[in-house]
Amino acid sequence: MFDSINSVLTGLLGPLGPLIAIAGLGIVLVLIALPTMMKKQRDRYAELGVQAGIRDAAADAGKSSRLRRMSAGDRLEKYAHLLEPQKAEELSALRLKLMRAGYPDKGAVRLFHAAKMVLGLVGLVLAVIFALTNSTDETSTTTLLIYGALPGVLGYYLPVYWVEKRVGKRQTEIIQGFPDALDMMLVCVEAGQSLDQSIIRVGRESRAGYPALADEFDLVAQEVKAGKERTQVLRDMSDRVGIPDVASFVTTLVQSATFGTPVAEALRVYSADMRDKRVMRAEEKANMLPTKLTLGTMMFTVPPLLIILIGPSVWGIVTMLGQMGGK
């Protein structure tokens, strides 16, 4: 059946008939589904608000929102039902991952899905154009489909790869700078500053070397100034960065505040532990270095050595066998 359909499409549309038919079918399906997806659902709460006579409050809110600088994610707000997951768990997990990657804006989820959609469509269009301009009669339909779909898939998953790399890079930076930050916080607390003042000072001093860690401490300081409970702020920081060392640090501070033990003593013990962990990580990398160098040594040293040592003998044997064969 597929061979007959392929032959009919090839006879009607040429060698690229199956690819053109699939692309046309996809466009038709997108056009059919687009009005339904773009249709915005009725906001019942907004209707009740209008009926209750809060038009003036809504107008004031609109003025204040216009005064606020709009980001790219805010401009995509009317497409939120299309660019955001409908399940609260998926939306929360994706927002947490983007925050760990350094994108705390509330419209980051919309931008992420918009980037996936745009890059996927751009890759698909470019692949189709390349296939149409470089195809021959000998090119099979499977090859054309692979060439057409592969760039679109790569473009669709490129933002996912970028976010994963950003998360790993940011977590590595926080892990590297955390022991120094704890030492500085211990010095500030022992000098007579409060924990909130120490966090502000550590965030300011860590900006040059570890900007990701400084952003986290600045956010903690701002939330505490806004009136949020310090324990909850620290736990939010632990969830935001997703690093076991930071989670243990938060647990230490929470227990210190719960049981009334001095913060300086807890920081002294924990900072010493973090320094020991940093030394252990450095020793682990140093111990792994000979194993990694073994593969490079075998690949780039042993073959040339064998050629130098055994090459002349092999050449002499081959020459001798050739002479004996000629006789």
pLDDT in tens, 128-165: 777 767 666 566 666 767 776 788 888 888 989 999 99
**Stretch 39-60: mean pLDDT:** 49
Structural domain contains residue 203: yes
Residue entry with tokens 């692309």: 23
Q: Considering only 49-53, 168-172, 265-269, which range has the smallest mean pLDDT?
A: 49-53
Q: What is the pLDDT of residues 277-313, one digit of tens each?
A: 888 888 888 888 888 888 777 888 888 888 888 888 8
Please tell me which residue, 228 or 60, carries the higher pLDDT value. Answer: 228
Specify if 89 maps to a domain.
Answer: no
Asked if residue 200 has pLDDT above 70, the reply is: yes
Among 33-47, 146-160, 166-180, 191-205, name the one with the lowest average pLDDT: 33-47
Q: Which residue has the higher pLDDT, 239 or 24?
A: 239
Lowest mean pLDDT, pick from 7-21, 51-65, 98-112, 226-240? 51-65
Residue 182: inside a domain, yes or no?
A: yes
Name the residue range of residue 244's domain. 169-283
Percentage of the chain beyond pLDDT 70 is 71
What stretches of 7-75 adopt beta strand conformation (E)? Answer: none
**The predicted structure's pLDDT at residue 1:** 57
Asked if 97 and 109 count as a contact pair (C-beta separation under 8 A), the reply is: no
Please state the rounded mean pLDDT for residues 14-25.
68
Amino acid present at 305: L
Q: Is residue 294 part of a domain?
A: no
Quick check: 229 pLDDT over 60?
yes
CA dist list (Å): 55 to 46, 49, 139, 223: 10, 8, 64, 32
Highest mean pLDDT among 5-19, 54-68, 256-270: 256-270
Q: What is the pTM of this model?
A: 0.65
49-80 in b/e form (b: 16+ CB < 10 A) is: eeeeeeeeeeeeeeeeeeeeeeeebeebeeee
**pLDDT attached to residue 239:** 87
26 pLDDT more than 80: no
Distances (CA, A) of 115 to 39, 74, 123, 267, 296: 21, 15, 12, 43, 39
- Per-residue pLDDT band for 77 (boundaries 50, 70, 90) equals low
pLDDT at position 278, please?
86
Q: Where are the alpha helices (DSSP H) in 191-229?
A: 195-205, 211-225
Q: In total, how many domains does the chain have?
A: 2
pLDDT tens digits, 98-111 = 888 888 887 788 88
Residue 151, class by beta-carbon neighbours within 10 Å (0-12 exposed, 13-18 middle, 19+ buried)?
A: buried
Residue 199 domain-assigned? yes
Tokens matching residue 294? 């073994």
End-of-domain residue from the set 18, 33, 57: 57
Mean pLDDT of 46-73: 48
Whether residue 30 lies inside any domain: the answer is yes
Q: Does the pLDDT of residue 59 top 50, yes or no?
A: no
pLDDT of residue 139: 61
Distance, in Å, from the CA atom of 26 to the CA atom of 83, rounded to the nearest integer, reads 20
Position 45 scores a pLDDT of 46
Look at residue 94 and tell me if it is in a domain: no
Q: Among 42, 57, 72, where does a domain finish?
A: 57
**Is 124 within a domain?**
no
Sort 242 into a burial class: Cβ within 10 Å, 0-12 / 13-18 / 19+. middle
What's the pLDDT score for residue 165? 92
Q: What is the mean pLDDT of the chain?
A: 77
